[in-house]
Chains A and B, each alone.
Chain A
Amino acid sequence: MARMKFLCDADRCIECNACVTACKNEHEVPWGINRRRVVTLNDGKPGERSISMACMHCTDAPCAAVCPVNCFYTTADFVVLHSKDLCIGCGYCFYACPFGAPQYPKVGNFGSRGKMDKCTFCAGGPDADGSKEEFEKYGANRLAEGKLPLCAEMCSTKSLLAGDSDVIAQIYKERVSKRGYGSGAWGWQTAYRESIAT
């Protein structure tokens, strides 16, 4: 099985928000919940950089480590998913996550937040693949259909890559070696305990 990862090439992201819009539309994510977002640093200044962020599907995911009800699981493709049937909306995962990925439908403490929602790498959840229940809770299951996450598919500059770790790392390495610079695969050290040597 492939080791699925995201890679955002910050030297290419133009903050067009196509990834965010594609995600919202594909999974019918409600207003206020952001499974993916584009973060811009030094906005309007020289050296401005944007990066598209979502759940990175960490190796040894910290959200899973703190979850009191063990609602997280890792698929055979190393995608970190969770069960909304088990989630109690405690918010611990939000504090544990280094990427701010977990989202909640309501503001409040502990159980009053509602069920946690996050990026599924377009891989749905524990319900039957492609079922109505799965779509309503987790959105589309593109992986089960043999498709990659729509955010990366939609990326206008191919800054955001999603797919097998070895393949996307190779694409990034070739890109950096051809253009002669690269700021590294942002978040990889935190999420996967590894970096791409370029």
Chain B
Amino acid sequence: MVCLGHAGARRRSGIRVRHCSTTNLAAMDGGGVFRARFGIEREEKRPDGTTVKVSMLADGNASKDSEIKDGYPEFTVGVLKKLGWDKDLTEAELAVINKVNPTTPDAVSWSTDLSGGVQRVALKHGCIPYGNGKARMNAFGLPDPIPVHREPIYTPRVDLVEKYPTLPDARQFRLPNIGFSVQKAAVEKGIAKQFPLILSSGRLVEYEGGGEETRSNKWLAELQQDMFVEINPADAAERGIKDGGWVWVTGTENSSKAKVKALVTERVGKGVAWMPFHFGGWFGGEDLRANYPAGADPVVLGESANTITSYGYDPATGMQEPKVTLCQIRAA
């Protein structure tokens, strides 16, 4: 397989790159292959109902100077034995391996071998310890094995929801995920008319996570002293909002509201607003500094972006939806 993405690199360097990874380098020089992480063989259904076994290992390619010129599984002591490379393990390494798994030392792999010997021997033979597998474009096991477009639960494009709905309601682990019902109800209630702006959230370079620790650092707090919302100049003009002025951001659920400063900028497009998620300590316009235990209050407080963000959970991981929702903004 020739990776088209490397066409330019091939022209410039004259090297025929036979893989999307850096197979033109030897393993010890930083060469790499796709990890054989998902087994070495997979049974796949064909359209006619029959099944076929498909190798998950690379076909006829490996990193430069590899002694195995084809795909290979993750390295274990057992794999080394099959190759006859176990003789390269030192006595000290074998002693550690036998301690790691006294009953079946063959099962000790590159990732559990505390001596590092399995990795050392694999690399000595030009092989990557984690195996040489195929790249997967089909993430079997996920609800959408190949990504498809799905409208956010709260979308301004309600006309697209019917064609591109979110996944059906389902029980995930111990909990229900009722994204589909929430999306449907939002469309029926006309939420997008009341809350016409798309709201996303993100990070600032000065702060980390919820910001409690970093806002407690005076050097960093001085650089970002106010919670804010970025709003496009056109949206700001329609609403009589001035750069640096106070605004109310209202959200789609629970009559949520947050009082923040406006940063009028073309960094966000018309119809889009953005808030950093590092602030806390204010709620619904109220400064709650007095509620902190003495000496525990950060230097800078502000409204939490998550007051405004709304329902939505990733079907595979349960991660919340902090990146897309709707809001309305008005001058305070």
Could you list which residues of chain A lie within 8 angstroms of chain B, going by C-beta atoms? 15-17, 20-21, 24-25, 31-32, 43-45
| Residue among A15, A21, A31, A44 having the largest count of chain B Cβ atoms under 10 Å | A44
Contact status of A20 and B223, CB under 8 A, knowing A15-B205, A31-B218: yes
Expressed in whole angstroms, the Cα–Cα distance for A43 and B223 within the complex equals 16
In the A-B complex, list the 6 residue pairs whose CB atoms are closest, starting with the nearest. A44-B267, A44-B265, A24-B219, A21-B219, A16-B205, A44-B266
Contact status of A25 and B219, CB under 8 A, knowing A16-B205, A17-B205: yes
| Residue among B205, B220, B222 having the largest count of chain A Cβ atoms under 10 Å | B222
Expressed in whole angstroms, the Cα–Cα distance for A17 and B205 within the complex equals 8
Expressed in whole angstroms, the Cα–Cα distance for A161 and B232 within the complex equals 36
Shortest Cβ distance from B268 into A: residue:
A44
Shortest Cβ distance from B299 into A: residue:
A31
Expressed in whole angstroms, the Cα–Cα distance for A15 and B220 within the complex equals 13
Expressed in whole angstroms, the Cα–Cα distance for A153 and B205 within the complex equals 19
Chain A residues lying within 8 Å of B205, measured Cβ to Cβ, are: 15-17
Say what secondary structure dominates the interface of chain A.
loop
Chain A residues lying within 8 Å of B223, measured Cβ to Cβ, are: 17, 20-21
Number of interface residues of B (CB under 8 A): 11
Expressed in whole angstroms, the Cα–Cα distance for A22 and B267 within the complex equals 28
CB distance from B210 to the nearest CB of A (A): 20
Expressed in whole angstroms, the Cα–Cα distance for A123 and B281 within the complex equals 40
Chain A residues lying within 8 Å of B222, measured Cβ to Cβ, are: 24, 31-32
Chain B residues lying within 8 Å of A44, measured Cβ to Cβ, are: 230, 265-267
Contact status of A21 and B266, CB under 8 A, knowing A15-B205, A16-B205: no
Q: When the two chains form the complex, which single residue of A21, A32, A43, A45 contacts B220, counting CB atoms closer than 8 Å? A: A21
Interface contact A17-B206, CB-CB below 8 Å: yes
Shortest Cβ distance from A44 into B: residue:
B267
Expressed in whole angstroms, the Cα–Cα distance for A43 and B264 within the complex equals 10
Shortest Cβ distance from A37 into B: residue:
B223
CB distance from A36 to the nearest CB of B (A): 12
Q: When the two chains form the complex, which single residue of B218, B230, B266 contacts A45, counting CB atoms closer than 8 Å? A: B266
12 pairs, CB–CB < 8 Å, chain A vs chain B: A15-B205, A16-B205, A17-B205, A20-B223, A21-B219, A21-B223, A24-B219, A31-B218, A31-B222, A44-B265, A44-B266, A44-B267
Chain A residues lying within 8 Å of B220, measured Cβ to Cβ, are: 21
Expressed in whole angstroms, the Cα–Cα distance for A15 and B266 within the complex equals 18
